Amino acid sequence: MYDLNYYENLLRIHSATAESICKRRWLFLSEHIQDLKKVLDYGSGVGWFRAWAPPGIAVWSYDIGLYPQTGIDLIGYDVTCFWDVLEHIRDFQDIEPILMLSKKVACTVPIIPEEGLSEWKHFKPGEHLHYFTKDSLVALFDKFGFSPMVENDCECPPRKDVTTFLFANRWRP
């Protein structure tokens, strides 16, 4: 599913949209996090988010894909970003060590519509392993010691049916 052809398709077809979305993500972070210096992009894909990082911000990147990445440095991060990633993670216990390195977590996820899953474009069994309501996402991060700070639809447009969240680590201010 996430093979070289998948990533090459992203690069060829969606680069203008990706640039627009990444710029919105950086604006979201800069509006809500003071003195942002160290960022982990977990599930970095082809690396667009890192490519459009503002000057003075160090970005580490990690993905299961084949594109170059920095890997994870166990130094701690001002924020770890899970852009369009959480719905693909099989077991959230696997990311607990990463969460504990982070003062904050930012994520974008599709939120289940009130109409349910049947006709929803994000209903992708086998690809999406989890489906979230706002309450279930907050409960997930609460389990790991994070409190909600901000939620908005800063990526809409160009996207729809996704919400961006920022959580603060209660144990690592």
pLDDT at 74: 79
Residue 164 has pLDDT above 70, yes or no: yes
Highest-scoring range by mean pLDDT, 87-101, 106-120, 146-160: 87-101
Q: To the nearest 10°, report the CA torsion of 72, 101, 25, 150.
A: 160
C-beta atoms surrounding 53 within 10 Å:
16
Quote the pLDDT of residue 150.
Answer: 96
Over residues 71-80, the pLDDT tens digits come to: 998 789 999 9
User: Is the pLDDT assigned to residue 133 strictly greater than 70?
Assistant: yes
- Structural domain total, the chain: 1
Tokens of residue 118, six digits: 């049947």
Please tell me the pTM assigned to this model: 0.88
For the chain, how are helix, strand and coil distributed in percent, rounded to 5?
Answer: 30, 25, 45
What is the pLDDT at residue 81?
98
For residue range 77-112, list pLDDT tens digits in order.
999 999 999 999 999 999 999 999 999 999 999 988
Is there a contact between 41 and 50 (Cβ–Cβ < 8 Å)? yes
**Which token pair is 21?**
């979305």
5 pLDDT band (50/70/90 cuts)? low
Helix 15-32 to helix 4-13 angle (10° resolution) is: 90
pLDDT at 3: 56
Confidence band for 140, pLDDT divided at 50, 70 and 90: very high
In one-letter notation, the amino acid at residue 93 is: Q
Residue 8 lies in domain: 4-169
Mean pLDDT over 36-64 rounds to 93
CATH number for the domain including 149?
3.40.50.150
| pLDDT in the model for residue 122 | 78
Q: Share the mean pLDDT of the chain.
A: 87
